Amino acid sequence: MDVRIENGRHVIKKWDQVFEILTAEPRRQLIVSLLDAPPGQSVSLPEHAVNPNIPADPEKVRRELHHCHLPMLADHGFINWETEPLVASRGPRFDEVAVVLTALHATATDIPDSLVIGCQRLERERQTSFRD
C-alpha cells in the first residue's frame, strides 16, 4: 500500500481519537486541569474533572470517571491514573489532546460568546487577552 495513504489513515485515526476524547465535559475538564498542573504532577479526582460552574455529585462523577472516562483516556495514552487515591497525570500522548484546548484558549477572543460564557477557563482567557 502507498505509504502516503497509510500515513493519512494513521493521522485521521489519531485526530478522531482526540476529538472523541473531547466530546465529554469530564474529560475536557481533566485535560485542562492537567494543563494547569506542572508536568509530572498528578491531579486529584473527581474535583479536577468537573466544571466548577455546575454542582456535581462527587460519587456519581467518581463512578463515571472510573468506569468510562479514565479508561478511555488511558487506553489512548493521554493520561495515567491510579485508584487509591484517585488521581490522574499526563500520559505519553497528552500533548496530542492538550494542543487542541491550548489553541482554543489562545483564541478565546475569537470564539463566539455562546461557547465562552459559562466556561470559566475561556472567560478567564478572554479577560486576560483584553487586558493585554
Model pLDDT, residue 94: 97
Q: How far is Cα of residue 70 from the mean position of the Cα atoms in its chain?
A: 11
pLDDT tens column, 96-120: 999 999 998 888 888 888 888 888 7
Closest C-alpha to 72, from 85, 60, 59, 88:
88
Q: Which CATH number fits domain 3-131: 3.90.180.10, 1.10.10.10, 1.10.150.530, 3.90.420.10?
A: 1.10.10.10
Q: What is the pTM for the complete model shown?
A: 0.86
Cβ 130 vs Cβ 109: under 8 Å: yes
Model pLDDT, residue 46: 95
pLDDT tens column, 75-93: 999 999 999 999 999 999 9
Model pLDDT, residue 61: 93
C-alpha separations of 45 from 17, 48, 69, 90, 125 in Å: 23, 5, 12, 14, 24
Domain spans of the chain, in order of start: 3-131
